[in-house]
């Protein structure tokens, strides 16, 4: 049994949905299908989820939103008409949306969750209806009835352990099962959504629950590339990644997967394959527990912006027991999470997402660190980008860091920080945001340009004994 998930671009129009249904019916093992809300049909278009957010915002503000409601319904009408479906499915969607608007608005978060989730929910009903119109046995699966139970955290739901036993029973159902992504229900029966992009999470949960042989994630690219194709022309494709490599790349800016999405599949050791809805014969990128290492120990390069550094300096810091704990406790009490903590003998830097600190919180944090820890210096540097170089084989290879540093130097970008995790799956470099793209291109040239690969074939990387 395979679980196949189709993202927003894959189900954005009637033409795309026809492709999806051809893919589903081409393989009898694709019996459990997760769908997103209709995405953009072109660059200037709006995602259905964005239309639903606008609908919810307007209704919360004014108590009515007829124009916004009609825009959402029009998206489904366009799809239904081009699939030659009757009006019944549109009337069902219209009634569903009006019922959601009638929900108590005293909890805006849960009201918003209900409206956002309708994008996936109604699209699943529509796609099941289309398959049935072709004479294929297909069933829309209600997540509540199926037992997808989640924590009651609006917009940030976490799957509850009992869901897996509940969802395993889906194996017993006949036909093709169309399951809406992005949301589940609390034990009290309240609809709650995963973080945005959470249809990937739904797919991974289902794959783990039914003990699938493969979790296929269909998107609009043939495979994962070693670097953002917006930065490098025709970058190399990645045929295989390990779970840990994909996690590192997702964290550092790869947009193929939501960074939490793989967790259920990883725990259940379900292999994942990223494939292209528009070119389903392409082999895609396989994500597995272990892989054969290629000549190049680096598998991918990712970068992300929007970080800041809190630099703290105190003479004899290393002799002060509990200093690090006290510093991180201040962050915890200010409800700030951190990403990395590179340190020296008398100094430590804490890297975190900049959007966590407004001017007031930043000033309070600096004062608390000064007064409570009696430090010599505390500075905050904004505008940082993190560049991640990833590959499990790097820990066996000498000279990887030296090559990366040389590449960044050639791009005329200054390195603000270097950090390597204890697992040695990745190396991280902090640079100013304005220099990140140049540095990434230079690193790509160092590790992946044809001339370099040919040189490596003649003079392979030295390997640690």
Residues contributing to the annotated binding site for ATP: 5-8, 219-220, 225
Q: Which pair of tokens denotes residue 434?
A: 């304005």
3-state secondary structure string, 315-331?
CCHHHCCCHHHHHHHHH
Task: Count Cβ neighbours within 10 Å for each residue of 380-396 and write b for 16 or more, e otherwise.
Answer: bbeebbbbbbbbbbbeb
Residues 6+ apart with CB under 8 A from 180: 34, 35, 117, 120, 121, 123, 124, 141, 143, 202
Rounded to 5 degrees, what are φ and ψ at 268?
-95, 0
Query: What sign has the CA pseudo-torsion 301, 304, 305, 311?
Result: negative
- Annotated binding residues, as ranges? 5-8, 49, 120, 219-220, 225
Please tell me what DSSP assigns to residue 236.
P
Alpha helices (H) along 213-315 = 243-251, 263-267
Chain centroid to Cα 109, Å, comes to: 21
- Which residues are part of a known binding site for substrate? 49, 120
What's the token pair of residue 219? Answer: 């998107």
Give residue 387's Cα distance to chain centre: 17
CA–CA gap between residue 354 and residue 356 (Å, rounded): 5
CA dihedral sign of residues 215, 216, 219, 221: positive
Number of H-type helices and E-type strands within the chain: 15, 17
Q: Classify 24 as helix, strand or coil.
A: helix
What is the CB neighbour count within 10 angstroms for residue 155? Answer: 15
Which tokens hold the place of 130?
């289309």
- Return the closest-CA partner of residue 436 out of 133, 230, 266, 245: 230
Buried b (16+ CB within 10 A) or exposed e, 60-89: eeeeebeebbebbbebbbebbeebebeeeb
Give 301's strand partners.
389
């Amino acid at each position: 049994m395979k679980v196949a998930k189709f993202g927003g671009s894959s189900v954005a129009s009637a033409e795309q949905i026809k492709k999806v249904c051809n893919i589903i019916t081409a393989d009898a093992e694709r019996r459990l299908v997760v769908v997103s809300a209709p995405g953009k049909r072109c660059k200037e278009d709006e995602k259905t989820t964005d239309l639903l957010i606008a609908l919810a915002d307007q209704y919360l503000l004014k108590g009515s939103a007829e124009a916004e409601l009609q825009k959402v319904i029009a998206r489904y009408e366009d799809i239904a008409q081009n699939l030659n479906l009757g009006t019944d499915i549109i009337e069902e969607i219209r009634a569903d949306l009006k019922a959601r608007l009638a929900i108590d608005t005293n909890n805006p978060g849960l009201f918003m969750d209900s409206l956002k989730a309708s994008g996936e929910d109604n699209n699943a009903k529509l796609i099941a209806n289309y398959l049935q119109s072709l004479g294929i046995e297909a069933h829309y699966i209600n997540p509540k009835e199926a037992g997808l139970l989640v924590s009651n955290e609006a917009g940030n739901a976490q799957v509850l352990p009992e869901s897996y036993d509940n969802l395993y029973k889906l194996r017993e159902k006949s036909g093709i099962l169309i399951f809406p992504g992005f949301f589940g229900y609390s034990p009290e029966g309240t609809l709650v959504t995963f973080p945005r992009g959470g249809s990937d999470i739904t797919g991974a949960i289902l794959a783990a629950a039914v003990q699938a042989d493969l979790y296929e994630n269909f998107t609009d690219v043939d495979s994962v590339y070693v670097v953002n194709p917006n930065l490098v022309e025709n970058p190399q494709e990645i045929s295989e990644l390990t779970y840990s490599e994909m996690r590192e790349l997702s964290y550092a800016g790869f947009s193929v997967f939501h960074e939490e999405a793989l967790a259920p599949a990883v725990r259940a050791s379900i292999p994942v394959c990223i494939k292209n809805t528009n070119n389903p014969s392409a082999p895609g990128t396989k994500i597995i527990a272990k892989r054969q290492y290629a000549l190049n120990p680096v598998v991918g390069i990712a970068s992300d912006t929007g970080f800041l550094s809190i630099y703290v300096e105190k003479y004899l810091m290393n002799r002060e027991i509990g200093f690090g704990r006290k510093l991180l406790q201040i962050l915890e009490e200010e409800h700030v999470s951190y990403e990395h903590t590179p340190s020296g003998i008398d100094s430590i830097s804490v890297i975190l997402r900049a959007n966590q600190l407004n001017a007031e919180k930043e000033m309070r944090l600096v004062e608390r660190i000064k007064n409570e820890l009696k430090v010599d210096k505390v500075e905050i540097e904004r505008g940082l980008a993190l560049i991640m170089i990833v590959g499990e084989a790097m820990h066996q290879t000498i000279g990887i860091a030296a090559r990366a540093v040389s590449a960044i130097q050639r791009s005329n970008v200054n390195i603000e920080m270097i950090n390597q995790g204890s697992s040695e799956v990745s190396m991280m470099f902090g640079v100013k945001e304005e220099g990140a793209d140049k540095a990434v291109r230079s690193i790509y040239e160092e590790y992946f340009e044809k001339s370099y690969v040919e040189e490596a074939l003649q003079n392979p990387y030295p390997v640690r004994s």
